[in-house]
Amino acid sequence: MKPSLRLPIIILAIAAVSQQALADGNIKNDEFNPITTGVTSLSIAPDARGASMGDLGAATDPDANSQFWNPSKYAFAYSQAAVSLSYTPWLRKLVNDIFLANLAGYWKIGANDNQAVSASLRYFSLGEVNTNPVNGGGQSLNPYEMSFDIGYSRKLSEKFSMGVVFRYIYSDLGFSDSYAGDQSTGASAFSADISGYYTTYPIIGRNECQWSWGWDISNIGSKVSYNNGEDPAFLPTNLRLGTAFTFPLADYHNLTIGLDANKLLVPAKPREGDYEDTAEGQRQYLDALEDWENMSSFTGIFKSFSDAPGGFKEELREISWSLGAEYSYNNQFFLRAGYFYENEFKGNRKYFSLGAGFSLNVVRLDASYMIAAAQTSPLDQTLRFSLTFDMDGLKDMFGRR
């Protein structure tokens, strides 16, 4: 990879790692060991609603963007169909031309409305990069990552549903060898998601509440191989578990509190510093690195539960947490807040989030704002916007006419 083409990779790395914490001496370098993956943009929350609750969505009420959080929720969707467009200017504290755009939607099918088909398209632009910014006269590239997926969900009982998603992924980060005359080529991969959702309505006092549980294993699939296969990388296979509890505060006033836990099902890449500085230690490191590069994605999923150099303690560090709340008035006005926590040794992303939404019969507009715990974080002040169209609302509007 040419040095001038490292910029997109460096930017994404900054997004996942707080370099300021290392510089301040708060984190020991020998313990800092984040999980590395390819196509990291697949892990970015696409919509404003989930992002405003601290990246939460495994068990919240279904909406048009459930494809990312838990597609099995679509089977319990209240509307017949909906489509949503989301836009996120990404890392605006560093550059001004990186963004994530996401289009998602679903359609209920079947006589009993107990099934749904869904799809989403995401496009992550890493801006414009000059291949020779020092001497000039270089080539301008526009690295990007994109994915397209389709899903199917179905109720298996009155309270439980499951869903599957099949995804095509393409990543073009500008890898090329200009001296050899090679053109820049991207890398493709295929993956699948499987998920489940359970919801029930307990009576507490005189109030009917809602308690839901959800899980989603996403991006189970092939590796992505950059640079003509010389740089293989695991997809960000992720296990998401979550619960959400909704209870009425008064007539038309509801409050939902949710909690999600996430763990990347990706084996840790061997580190040279974990081996003795001897010829034998170097041989062991190179053998471990070769095994990691040749490991299949499915083997890596099981390996990810027991391969941390620090043992079970470090495995627990790989779990990130999302805690969020949503207040709604008559399902028309929404206020949201949340907190995301990632262990300092596994990336050190910690941030608060706020958001609001307003819904009419046809359209709903949501916005979110991120406040990083560390002011030096490039994720600070990230904005997201989502515009959702409800097909039932459109049908009612035209029906009245």
Stronger pLDDT, 215 or 361, i.e. the higher one: 215
pLDDT number for residue 384: 96
Average pLDDT over residues 315-338: 96
Q: pLDDT of 66-95, one tens digit each?
A: 999 999 999 999 999 999 999 999 888 788
The tokens describing 296, both together, are: 């299949």
Quick check: 146 and 172 in contact, CB under 8 A?
Answer: no
Output Rg (C-alpha) for the chain, integer angstroms. 22
49: nearest Cα among 397, 371, 401, 353: 353
Task: Judge whether 328 lies within some domain.
Answer: yes
Q: Higher-confidence residue: 357 or 274?
A: 357
Give the number of domains in the chain.
Answer: 1
Structural domain range at position 114: 3-268+304-400
Would 299 be classed as within a structural domain?
A: no
Q: How far apart are CA 270 and CA 188, in angstroms?
A: 25
Asked whether the whole model's pTM tops 0.95, one would answer no
| pLDDT at 9 (0 to 100) | 44
Tokens 């679903």 — which residue?
A: 106
| Res. 176 pLDDT band, cuts 50 70 90 | low
Residue 177 has pLDDT above 50, yes or no: no
CATH, residue 121: 2.40.160.40
pLDDT band at 13 (very low <50, low <70, confident <90, very high): very low
Query: Per the domain annotation, does 294 fall within a domain?
Result: no
Asked if 54 contacts 73 with a C-beta cutoff of 8 angstroms, the reply is no
**183 with 136: CB under 8 angstroms?**
no
E strands present in 222-278? 224-226, 231-233, 238-250, 253-264
Q: Exposed (0-12), middle (13-18) or buried (19+): which is 118, by Cβ within 10 Å?
A: buried
Domain presence at residue 322: yes
Residue 281 lies in a domain: no
pLDDT at 360: 87
Q: Is pLDDT at 170 greater than 70 in this prediction? A: yes
The answer to whether residue 57 sits within a structural domain is: yes
Instruction: Please check whether residue 290 lies inside any domain of the structure.
Output: no
Residue 341: predicted pLDDT = 95
Q: Is 290 helix (H, G, I), strand (E, B) or coil?
A: helix
Cα distances (Å, whole numbers) of residue 46 to 3, 90, 176, 350: 30, 11, 29, 18
47, 135, 276, 342 from 57: Cα distances, Å: 10, 47, 43, 17
Q: What is the pLDDT of residues 367-381, one digit of tens each?
A: 999 998 876 677 888
List the single range of 140-149, 273-282, 349-358 with lowest mean pLDDT. 273-282
pLDDT band, residue 23 (cuts 50/70/90): very low
Is pLDDT larger for residue 49 or for residue 231? 49
Dist. CA 231–CA 189, nearest whole Å: 14
59 in any annotated domain: yes
106-116 residue pLDDT tens:
999 987 789 99
